[in-house]
Structures are given as C-alpha cells and as structure tokens.
C-alpha cells in the first residue's frame, strides 16, 4: 500500500533529520543541495529511495516523480551485511553514480558519515510489508476494512509522534477512541445482520 511505504519513508526521514539536527556540518552541506532530486537504488533487493535535501534537512520518498539530478546505485548492506555488525554503511563495495557525479559523491560521503542504523530502519519496512500482504489476503471483506482502520491507526500513532507538533492531547482523543471501538462493534453486528439477510434472500430465490 502506498500509505505504508510512505509511512516507512516518513520514519526514515525522521531518523535522518534527527541525525542531521545533531550535526551542523551536515546540515550546512545539505543546504547547498536544496531541492535536488537524488535517487538511491539498491541492487538485488530492488529498492529505490529518493532523497531531497531541503532548507532544514532532507525529505525521503519512495519514487519521486522527477528526473533525478543524480542516481547512486549500489549493492546494499541489506541482507548480506545484516547481522555482521556493520550497520552504518548503506552500500557495500562499489558504488555507481549516474548524472551529476559531483553531487552523487557529496551525497555518498554524507550518507557514510551520518551513521544511520539501517538494520533498525529496514525492520520497519519488513513489518509493513507483512502487514501489507496480510491486508491484501483479507481484502474485500468488511472485516478487513474495520481491522485495517484499527491497525493503521496504531501504526500511524507511532509515525505521528515523530512528525507532529500539534496532535491533540491524549485526553481529548481517548473518548473518540472509545466511540470508535463502539462503532466497530456496531459494524460487526451490522455485518452479521447483512449476512443473515443475504442468507435469507438467497434461500428465497
């Protein structure tokens, strides 16, 4: 689902920006690249990410809809390197840069210096992927609809805590959630009733 991939990118974005905020040097260098479209492609696991440096950090998207200024292609530490304790490098071995080579090198150096915990980050993605497939299998039933709403809400709380400054207070929201739960029960009953009616109709025909 687009939303989950976006949520993953948003989480990654927060992780990046957290690190960048602690590193004035990195922030400064990023500002020079503001608004450039940087595609990062991990061979083998077929994962692309697009980074866009901004005035105050970096944005991360799955596949930004613009011709990249530079593309960095490499073999991911991903599955090979996970568990080998080398968590800070995004790429292993040779890296290929297409387009604006100088920009690509700048980015590459920055990524190396930021010490992102890639293992931690990828674990979010895997969780989402599983959720995605589960959702898909059950799709089409009313039950899925209600569960997905609940599941998404939980997932997103985590994401929102990263991103939001002005979320309503827990106390404000709590009564809603109780009512949402009530609604969900109502829906379950409604669904059962629809099924009964359908069943009755089916028998009459």
Partner 1 sequence: MENNGKTHFGFEEVDVQSKQGRVADVFHSVAAKYDIMNDVMSFGIHRLWKRVTIEKSGVRRGQRVLDLAGGTGDLASKFASIVGPDGEVILADINASMLREGRDRLINDGHAGNTRYAQVNAECLPFPDNYFDCITIAFGLRNVTDKDAALRSMYRVLKPGGRLLILEFSKPVVPGLNQVYDVYSFKLLPMMGKLIANDPDSYRYLAESIRMHPDQDTLKGMMVEAGFERTEYHNLTGGIVALHKGYKI
Residues lying near partner 1 in the complex (CB under 8 A): 1-3, 6-7, 9-10, 34-37, 50, 52, 54-56, 59, 61-66, 69, 139-146, 149, 152-153, 156-157, 159-160, 163-164, 166-168, 172-173, 175-176, 179-180, 183, 186-187, 190
Is residue 51 within 8 Å of residue 60, measured between CB atoms? Answer: yes
Is residue 91 within 8 Å of residue 76, measured between CB atoms? Answer: yes
CB-nearer residue toward partner 1: 101 or 153: 153
Is the alpha carbon torsion for 90, 48, 98, 102 positive or negative? negative
Q: How far is the CB of 113 from partner 1 (least distance, A)?
A: 22
Residues in the chain: 205
Q: How far is the CB of 24 from partner 1 (least distance, A)?
A: 16
β-partners of residue 92 are 75
Q: How far is the CB of 82 from partner 1 (least distance, A)?
A: 27
β-partners of residue 51 are 38, 60
Q: How far is the CB of 95 from partner 1 (least distance, A)?
A: 23
């Amino acid at each position: 689902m687009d939303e989950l991939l976006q949520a993953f990118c948003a989480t990654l974005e927060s992780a990046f920006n957290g690190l960048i905020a602690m590193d004035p040097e990195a922030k400064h260098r990023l500002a020079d690249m503001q608004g450039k479209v940087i595609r990062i492609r991990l061979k083998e696991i077929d994962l692309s990410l697009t980074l866009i440096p901004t005035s105050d950090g970096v944005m991360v998207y799955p596949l930004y809809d613009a011709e990249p200024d530079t593309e960095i292609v490499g073999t991911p530490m991903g599955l090979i390197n996970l568990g080998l304790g080398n968590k800070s490098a995004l790429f292993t071995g040779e890296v290929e840069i297409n387009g604006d080579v100088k920009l690509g090198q700048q980015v590459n150096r920055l990524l190396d210096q930021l010490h992102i915990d890639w293992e931690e980050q990828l674990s979010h993605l895997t969780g989402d992927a599983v959720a995605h497939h589960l959702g898909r299998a059950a799709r089409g039933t009313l039950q899925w609809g209600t569960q997905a709403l609940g599941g998404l809400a939980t997932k997103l709380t985590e994401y929102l805590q990263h991103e939001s400054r002005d979320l309503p207070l827990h106390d404000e929201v709590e009564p809603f959630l109780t009512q949402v739960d009530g609604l969900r029960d109502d829906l379950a009953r409604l669904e059962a009733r629809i099924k009964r009616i359908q069943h009755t109709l089916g028998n009459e025909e």
